[in-house]
Amino acid sequence: MAKNFDLVVIGAGPGGYIAAIRAAQLGMSVACVDDWSDEKGKPAPGGTCTNVGCIPSKALLQSSEHYEQAEKHFEDHGIEVKGLELKLDKLLGRKDKVVNENNQGILFLFKKNKVTYFHGRASFNAKVDAGWSIKVDGKDAEELVAKHVVVATGSSARQLPGVPFDEETILSNDGALRIGSVPKKLGVIGAGVIGLELGSVWRRLGAEVTILEGAPEFLAAADRDVAKEALSALTKQGLEIKLGAKVEEVKTSGKGVKVEYEDASGKEHKAEFDKLIVSIGRVPNTDGLGADTVGLKLDERGFVEVDDDCRTNLPNVWAVGDVVRGPMLAHKAEDEGVAVAERIAGQQPHVNFDTIPWVIYTSPEMAWVGKNEQELKKDGRDYRMGKFPFMANGRARALGDTTGFVKILADAKTDEVLGVHIVGPTASELIAEAVVIMEFRGAAEDIARICHAHPTLSEAMKEAALAVDKRALNF
């Protein structure tokens, strides 16, 4: 017998599980279906973010940063380390534990909010009088019927044509998080967020890392100043980043992988690596969803087509997160999930796409929100720029990390903040203040007049705001 709900959410990643919780808070009866399992076959809700994305990568970034600090930088603080040793098994085990705690946390939240969780694969079955029939395949096969459905099935790593992931030698974000021994030579294709974060992890742990990036520019989406500063810092650390590299052939052999590519000047190269991470973007997950069965419309790239409010072409069927247009970011998915639940409940929420922050968790971190300088120039917008280097910040000096700066772009007439771009220590945390200011359509002067604790890195934000008016105090 079918089980009835007000809402069935397909997928328990950040878009899906958050939508389910918010809908339950609003009084709906909610089911959330997700088929992710851990290595023991146990339920592992949380999607890519929790299992093979944001969370495990941050665990590895933290561990590898500690290792690098101990190896190279403790000395500057007068701390001598003898017999430093990497226990990779333990390091990876800690990462798995962090992931598991997050899986368990979501299961706990489902219970707490009375969301019924099904461990299995969901697909559209049919339109029925009461709404939509959803089939759940898995250990406990079920039929669910709900008035509303939210599709939150996420995305998967895009493979290079003809080079499937085997997660042994050719690695996606998944395999790249569980390499059993530090490879001597690691190749990475794509210098985007995943390539840079995971390339940094394995470089810190001792691999010789070469990143082949197809585009002629480094991090085209970032402000040019941020990209330039980051490229210089990452290169200095030992990441070899080759821009404008055209990968022509990838061949695995018993020992590793051979990559043939043409460099920016047209010169041919043959490189050999022990492992190769392919991080060239992601594709939406709609296989096996039954989109055809019910006529759910996908666009030409396979994304579920939605309007600005995440409505699909089918009545009461919604879609959020990586499976729809927009940036593939966990926090964007969460905000869409909340908004959809509230819309179903008759509220009128709004997701502001102009203030979604971006973060890259390399060292230095990069974070930005709003427009960058090249975009403002292209738009012909009259703006003022204020920049403050961490070199001139007392806390950064005390920390021993003075890389980078905060850069604020504000409208020349109204002083409204149009974009904030940070490269440097804790950029991921500092960006929150910029998001708040932009959400409230605040001015650079507003930031400049807010009292910032001393000594903190956040003072660089205040000083950059002062610099917009050419009156920085400490630079």
Residues within the interface to ligand NAI (CB under 6 A): 160, 189-195, 197, 212-215, 247, 279-282, 327-329, 359-361
Strand partners, 240: 210
Task: Give the number of residues written for the chain.
Answer: 475
Two structure tokens written together for 327: 């940036």
Strand partners, 151: 10, 319
Contacts for 183 with CB less than 8 Å, ≥ 6 apart: 202, 207, 273, 274, 275
Nearest approach, Cβ of 181 to ligand NAI (angstroms)?
Answer: 24
The span from the CA of 333 to the CA of 317, in Å, is 16
Of 63 and 279, nearer to ligand NAI (C-beta) is 279
Of 189 and 410, nearer to ligand NAI (C-beta) is 189
Of 105 and 327, nearer to ligand NAI (C-beta) is 327
Nearest approach, Cβ of 68 to ligand NAI (angstroms)?
Answer: 19
Nearest approach, Cβ of 406 to ligand NAI (angstroms)?
Answer: 19
Of 281 and 288, nearer to ligand NAI (C-beta) is 281
| Nearest residue to ligand NAI on Cβ basis | 192
Of 162 and 380, nearer to ligand NAI (C-beta) is 162
The span from the CA of 87 to the CA of 104, in Å, is 26
Nearest approach, Cβ of 158 to ligand NAI (angstroms)?
Answer: 7
Which amino acid appears at position 34 of this protein?
D
Nearest approach, Cβ of 222 to ligand NAI (angstroms)?
Answer: 11
Active site residues per annotation: 454
Of 147 and 331, nearer to ligand NAI (C-beta) is 331
Nearest approach, Cβ of 44 to ligand NAI (angstroms)?
Answer: 19
Nearest approach, Cβ of 421 to ligand NAI (angstroms)?
Answer: 15
Of 365 and 459, nearer to ligand NAI (C-beta) is 365
